[in-house]
Amino acid sequence: MIYSSPDSAYNKLFKSFLAKKQFMAIDTWGTDDSHVKHIYGPLEDLIKQNISEEHQKRLYPTSWTVKRRVAELSRHILVAEFLVEEWADHFVGKSLSELDELAASFSFENCVQREELNAILKQYSHI
């Protein structure tokens, strides 16, 4: 319903890091994986071709496709783990006031509302 402003201290500090995450298709939401399909597609195919559909669906959550499971476990967990230290390094040497300003990037009053989504949710909230 809201997101941190592109002009926030956090987004300014992490601009290149967030671009790297987007390029590597690390995040679950809003990720374009078109440029990494050649990497993960063969793994998805290997599983689909060698594991019965019945056994693919026995894992939790059962609603996940092979593509979703491979993305979650390989990109969103395994590869993302390699970025944790780099992310944390952005905070090294920051003063308390700088850290407070970064945290304030996520305060409701500093965030941007997703106007279209909020309008749709309001429209259907009575159902």
**HEC sequence for 90-115:** CCCCCCHHHHHHHHHCCCHHHEEECH
Percent of the chain beyond pLDDT 90?
86
Assess contact for 9 and 105: CB atoms under 8 A: yes
Per residue in 40-97, pLDDT (tens digit) is 999 999 999 999 999 988 888 989 999 999 999 999 999 999 999 999 999 999 999 9
Q: What tokens does 65 get?
A: 């496709």
- What's the confidence (pLDDT) of residue 42? 97
Percent of the chain beyond pLDDT 70?
99
Q: To 5 degrees, how large is the angle CA 65–CA 81–CA 33? A: 45
Does one domain contain both 54 and 75? yes
Does one domain contain both 89 and 66? no
Residue 102, strand partner residues: none
Count of all residues that appear for the chain in the document = 127
User: Does 18 have pLDDT greater than 70?
Assistant: yes
- What's the confidence (pLDDT) of residue 127? 67
Rounded Cα–Cα distance for residues 19 and 4 (Å): 15
Does one domain contain both 38 and 60? yes
Does one domain contain both 89 and 102? yes
Q: What is the mean pLDDT of residues 21-49?
A: 93
Rounded Cα–Cα distance for residues 65 and 87 (Å): 30
Q: In the chain, how many domains are there?
A: 2
Confidence of residue 112 (pLDDT cuts 50, 70, 90): very high
* Type of residue found at 65: T
Does one domain contain both 51 and 75? yes
Which residue segment(s) compose the domain that 3 sits in?
1-24+83-127
- What's the confidence (pLDDT) of residue 126? 83
- What's the confidence (pLDDT) of residue 58? 87
Does one domain contain both 15 and 44? no
